Amino acid sequence: MLRIVKPKTKRAKRELEKRAPKLEENTKKLLLLHGTKVSSVLRGVLADLFHLRKAEGRALKYSKKNDGVRPFEGGGETSLEFLSQKTDCSQFAFGSHSKKRPHNLVLGRMFDYHVYDMIEVGVERYKSLESLGGGKKASPQPGSKPCFAFIGEAFEARPEFRHLKELLVDLFRGEVIETLNLQGLDRVFLCTAAGDKVLFRHCAIRLKKSGSKVPRIELVEVGPSMDMVIRRHREPSDNLKKEAMRIMPKTTKKKVKNVSGDPLVGKVGRIYMPKQDVGEMALAKMKGLKRERREAAAARAVAADSGTEAAPSNSPKKQRTE
């Protein structure tokens, strides 16, 4: 039987609220890990991927060996799903090395902390950030977005290439934004389909003077650079894909009348008051504000307009004594 564990601390309650389903999901986090055997090439690839994603604070890298993680094998995904739920990561990159599959890299996604889809590629002709002199040049600036260029008909015609395209775009998507400054486009990923391989290149964008408002663009390769050979891939079933792509209707909040928000003050309300009749209010009034005097002044004003004398007031006057 399923047992619901209630949080015992406020910190645990806040963490569960962050992981709860939302209409607008959080930005995806990437989990990087490797198996029992891993080559120096795969260590460099995982380190470079972590370097490109850590600027956003959406990457987590494990340095210890993970014996129980074996993608594409029965029961070998349980440990991976456990780590995904523990770290709240919906993407993963797993590196391994064997005689049958050397320099093996598996990229995948999670849905509800279960493996949604994944693809296995072999890494060849790898060049790291340090070897190409990338370093700080390849580090994405906060708030910047990458460009993607997919060259070749295979990315539209062949299902395995189309699947790899979706995973690469989702891997470096980051936070979804509506507007972006031209300075925010600082890098581009070039993916070229050549036979059964995908030539993956990472270049930095340099804006040069061109004598007009539109700058001249130059591309400088900063790494990582590698050739990927597609081996195995597993796409989600139609029912699972339909469940993951389901769009929930947005609930519109009922508008509260006469309430608005201000960036400095905060919540601002407007109050409508009825007309106040000060003459009928029981207050301590001056002599000039008494009702009898007001009526006498109004009568004199009417008499002055009509040319007749005003009638004497009924209110008694105090005699002045010397």
- Residue 177's identity, in one-letter code, is I
Q: How far apart, in whole angstroms, are the C-alpha atoms of residue 233 and residue 169?
A: 16
pLDDT tens, position by position, 7-44: 889 888 888 887 777 777 778 889 999 988 999 999 99
Q: What is the pLDDT of residue 129?
A: 85
Percent of the chain with pLDDT over 90: 27
pLDDT of residue 117 exceeding 80? yes
Q: What secondary structure, in 3-state letters, does the chain show?
A: CCCCCCCCCHHHHHHHHHHCCCCCCCCCCEEEEECCCCCHHHHHHHHHHHHHHHHHCCEEEEEEECCCCCCCCCCCCHHHHHHHHHHCCCEEEEEECCCCCCCEEEEEEEECCEEEEEEEEEEEEEECCCCCCCHHHHCCCCCCEEEEEEECCHHHHCHHHHHHHHHHHHHCCCCCCCCCCHHHEEEEEEEEEECCEEEEEEEEEEEECCCCCCCEEEEEECCCEEEEEEEEEECCCHHHHHHHCCCCCCCCCCCCCCEEEECCCEEEECCCCCCCCHHHCCCCCCHHHCHHHHHHHHHHHHHHHHCCCCCCCCCCCCCCCC
pLDDT of residue 99 exceeding 80? yes
Res. 97 pLDDT band, cuts 50 70 90: very high
Q: What is the pLDDT of residue 310?
A: 47
pLDDT of residue 3 exceeding 70? no
User: Do 138 and 223 form a contact (C-beta atoms < 8 A)?
Assistant: yes
Q: Note the CATH number of domain 26-176+183-244.
A: 3.40.50.10480
pLDDT tens, position by position, 143-192: 778 889 999 999 999 999 999 999 999 988 877 777 777 777 888 999 99
Q: What is the pLDDT of residue 104?
A: 93
Q: Which of 94, 97, 102 is nearest to 119 (CA)?
A: 94
* Residue whose token pair is 């990472």: 202
Q: How far apart, in whole angstroms, are the C-alpha atoms of residue 269 and residue 260?
A: 6
Average pLDDT, the chain: 82
- Phi/psi class of residue 222: alpha, beta or left (left: φ > 0; alpha: ψ in -120 to 50)? alpha
The pTM of the full predicted model, rounded to 2 decimals, is 0.70
- Residue 144's identity, in one-letter code, is S
* Residue whose token pair is 């050979």: 229
More confident residue, 285 or 1: 285
